[in-house]
């Protein structure tokens, strides 16, 4: 890589060190300062662009819907109301969806993480005959897959439609996650450790469960979090594989309320235009509140998860 | 990169074996000794066989008239009928065009932004501000696609949305963003950046952290400005990661964003928002034209694979890091 060349130029090399000391010209000094100001400004603007819509949704969710409608809400909530939240908590679809999501998330994460850890460990072992071919079998699926329709037909033929398994199994093992886990094992479990354990008569099972897993806590945490977030946020598999709306996960319920419907979900029937418009504003209010409620769990967990995700990115990058 | 990548260990030099018979029995012995590893691998293998390779085997229905009774194997062959029908259909140009539009636009806009952000964040002096910026910028990645599209609908609503309120305040006419075909692509790409740029930035930051600080110190001694150091140290340092992520992005070019496009679709913006995969969904799962839509899906996969192979070859010619 070109990086290894020393940026110190040859002519400097023969001079005494005192003369090679940094002597930034005034222009460079101001250049750096200008750069710092520009960089900080750009980043502050980016932060604003990310935060403001979210902040607005939070304040809109507790503001008088008429004030929001008339464009009076900008930086502070106005005419506080909790009606949006009350409506959500009274809505059985939301609770039912939340319950389903928790079930799918727990089962899905357990299945995915255990399959990935076991498989990745085996693939990390250089002494396993056929390792390369088996790995290739996985890698191929990253670049070519059978597509939506045949996946649907397979799940249907397996009789999994309208069951938990349709939501949990078809996307259980991501090859990318498998690769991350494999390179983690390759880099953190020294060969010597295994050889020593084998001397002491430990089998592969015993070594994996008693030594490798306890040494891999950061990886296990990362894998759990990746899958919890993915399963919590997923809606598409549920959309195509579930017909029975009592089995819908939260995201699918949200989609039906937030995106698919406008007024119909609030149950307005007839009435004059005035009450129709009022119902519509309440519906908007409920949407704001719903966005807040559904995103809150992951947002609260974010500071805790960040450390692990950053580490995960490192594993990916070093690979 | 300073972090030394361990020299690629080839196969352990196998001792030259005098006889063939020996080598076979040795291999069998090694396989049987590793049986517990195969057991550990079995669930993952079963998974890809059932949920990846079986659907791949089923792709043959793109060349058949699938009916549930005969299944994948015994449905009658019809050759390229479905492909020809798709290419002659009036949607073909539109759907393929829409797909390429948002894919290329997404790549041109959404790919460089995380790199720029990472280079800027990396230059920040204060560790706390650095951390804060990272956390804030990548938090939207944890919001679900459904909610992000939900946010678009409320924030861009023509009646009460934040954006239209601002437009009206400035004396403009409200715009029905989600119901307009011209606005679909900009909204799609901007929301993509809004949601994912911060998260993609993390990988580049990790790569930047791996650059030897001695290089920066030496450059400072020579009086290099910050911009010069970014240009000559940081950028070349993360180039291998950039190239690999670029190739991977190409490999996924026609697959990403399908869920979001589907969620953003309204009857009014279909002329720009109907992409190959949403078309597959509508034709296949909603109208049960399994073979026809499987053919379209296969067309999409092959197009994608061709792009990937093309760019990987280009990267190799240019002597950059490649996938293989």
SS (H, E, C) B165-190: HHHHHCCCCCCCHHHCHHHHHHHHHH
Interface test with B, best of A66, A72, A130, A149 (most B CBs within 10 A): A149
CB contact under 8 A, B117 and A251: no
Q: Which residues of B82-93 are buried (b: 16+ CB within 10 A; e: fewer)?
A: bbeebeeeebbe
Residues 6 or more apart whose Cβ sits within 8 Å of residue B211? A3, B1, B2, B233, B234, B237, B238
Say if residue A6's pLDDT is above 60: no
Pick B225's closest partner by Cβ from A28, A118, A259: A28
Q: Which residues of chain A are within 8 Å of residue B224 when distances are taken between CB atoms?
A: 7
Please list the ranges in chain B whose pLDDT falls under 50.
Answer: 1-14, 17
Say if residue A11's pLDDT is above 50: no
Q: Which residues of chain B are within 8 Å of residue A284 when distances are taken between CB atoms?
A: 154, 157, 159-160
Pick B145's closest partner by Cβ from A53, A127, A233: A233
Say if residue A21's pLDDT is above 70: no
Region of poorest pLDDT, from A14-28, A52-66, A108-122: A14-28
Location of structure tokens 């959309």: A239
pTM of the model: 0.84
Torsion sign over Cα A110, A113, A116, A119: negative
**A314, closest residue in chain B (CA to CA):** B206
Say if residue A27's pLDDT is above 90: no
- Mean pLDDT value of segment A79-107: 90
Distance from CA of B251 to the nearest CA of A (A): 7
- Mean pLDDT value of segment A61-73: 82
Q: How far apart are the first and last CA of chain B?
A: 19
Return the pLDDT at B37.
94
Please state the φ and ψ torsions of residue B184, each to the nearest 5 degrees.
-55, -50
CB contact under 8 A, B142 and A229: yes
ipTM: 0.84
Say if residue A1's pLDDT is above 50: no
The helix/strand/coil state of B64 is strand
Q: Which residues of chain A are within 8 Å of residue B50 when distances are taken between CB atoms?
A: 154, 158
CB contact under 8 A, B222 and A208: no
CB contact under 8 A, B31 and A129: yes
CB contact under 8 A, B151 and A53: yes
The answer to whether B43 and A119 are in contact (CB under 8 A) is yes
- Mean pLDDT value of segment A257-263: 69
Q: Tell me, what DSSP letter sits at residue B233? A: I
Q: Which residue, among A231, A190, A217, has the nearest Cα to A307 in the 3D structure?
A: A217
The answer to whether A284 and B157 are in contact (CB under 8 A) is yes
The answer to whether B216 and B2 are in contact (CB under 8 A) is no
Q: Which residues of chain B are within 8 Å of residue A235 when distances are taken between CB atoms?
A: 144-146, 259
Pick A254's closest partner by Cβ from B38, B146, B298: B146
Query: What is the rounded distance in angstroms from the CA atom of residue A10 to the CA atom of residue A24?
Result: 19
Q: Which residues of chain B are within 8 Å of residue A46 when distances are taken between CB atoms?
A: 117, 133, 137
């Amino acid at each position: 890589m070109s990086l290894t060349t020393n940026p110190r130029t040859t002519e400097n090399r023969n001079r005494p060190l005192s003369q090679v000391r940094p002597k930034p010209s005034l222009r460079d000094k101001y250049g750096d300062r200008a750069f710092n100001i520009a960089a900080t400004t750009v980043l502050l603007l980016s932060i604003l662009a990310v935060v403001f819509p979210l902040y607005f949704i939070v304040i809109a969710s507790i503001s008088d819907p008429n004030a929001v409608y008339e464009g009076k809400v900008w930086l502070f909530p106005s005419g506080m109301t909790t009606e949006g939240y009350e409506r959500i908590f009274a809505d059985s679809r939301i609770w039912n969806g939340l319950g389903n999501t928790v079930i799918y998330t727990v089962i899905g994460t357990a299945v995915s993480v255990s399959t990935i850890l076991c498989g990745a460990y085996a693939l990390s072992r250089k002494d396993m005959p056929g390792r390369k071919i088996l790995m290739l079998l996985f890698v191929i699926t990253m670049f070519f897959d059978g597509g939506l329709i045949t996946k649907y037909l397979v799940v249907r033929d397996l009789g999994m439609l309208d069951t938990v398994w349709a939501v949990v199994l078809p996307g259980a093992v991501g090859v990318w996650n498998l690769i991350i886990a494999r390179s983690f094992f390759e880099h953190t479990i020294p060969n010597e450790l295994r050889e020593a354990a084998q001397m002491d008569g430990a089998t592969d099972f015993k070594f994996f469960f008693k030594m490798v897993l306890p040494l891999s806590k950061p990886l296990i945490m990362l894998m759990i979090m990746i899958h919890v977030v993915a399963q919590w946020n997923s809606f598409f598999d549920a959309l195509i594989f579930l017909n029975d709306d009592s089995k819908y996960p939260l995201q699918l319920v949200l989609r039906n309320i937030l995106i698919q419907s406008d007024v119909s979900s609030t149950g307005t029937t007839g009435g004059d235009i005035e009450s129709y418009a009022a119902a519509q504003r309440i519906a908007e209010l409920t949407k704001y509140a719903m966005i807040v409620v559904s995103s809150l769990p992951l947002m609260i967990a974010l500071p805790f998860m960040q450390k692990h995700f950053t580490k995960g990115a490192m594993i990916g990058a070093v690979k | 990169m300073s972090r030394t990548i361990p020299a690629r260990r080839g196969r352990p030099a196998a001792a030259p074996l005098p006889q063939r018979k020996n080598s076979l029995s040795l291999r069998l012995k090694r396989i049987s000794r590793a049986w517990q590893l195969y057991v550990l691998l079995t669930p993952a293998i079963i998974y890809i066989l059932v949920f990846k390779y079986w659907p791949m085997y089923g792709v043959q229905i793109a060349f058949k008239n699938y009916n549930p009774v005969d299944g994948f194997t015994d449905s009658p062959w019809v050759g390229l009928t479905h492909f020809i029908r798709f290419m002659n259909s009036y949607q073909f140009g539109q759907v393929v065009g829409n797909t390429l539009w948002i894919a290329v636009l997404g790549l041109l806009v959404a790919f460089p932004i995380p790199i720029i952000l990472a280079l800027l964040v990396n230059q920040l002096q204060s560790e706390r501000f650095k951390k804060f910026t990272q956390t804030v910028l990548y938090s939207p990645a944890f919001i679900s696609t459904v909610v992000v599209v939900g946010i678009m609908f409320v924030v861009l609503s023509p009646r009460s949305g934040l954006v239209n309120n601002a437009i009206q305040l400035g004396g403009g006419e409200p715009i029905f963003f989600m119901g307009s075909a011209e606005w679909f692509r900009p909204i799609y790409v901007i929301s993509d950046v809004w949601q994912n740029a911060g998260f993609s930035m993390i990988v580049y930051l990790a790569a930047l952290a791996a650059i030897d600080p001695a290089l920066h110190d030496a450059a400072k001694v020579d009086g290099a400005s910050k911009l010069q150091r970014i240009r000559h140290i940081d950028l070349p340092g993360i180039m291998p990661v950039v190239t690999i992520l670029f190739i991977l992005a190409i490999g996924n070019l026609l697959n990403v964003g399908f869920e979001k496009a589907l969620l953003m679709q309204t009857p009014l913006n279909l002329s720009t928002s109907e992409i190959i995969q949403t078309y597959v969904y509508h034709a296949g799962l909603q109208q049960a034209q399994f073979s026809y839509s499987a053919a379209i899906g296969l067309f999409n996969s092959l197009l994608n694979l061709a792009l990937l192979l093309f760019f990987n070859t280009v990267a190799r010619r240019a002597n950059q890091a490649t996938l293989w």
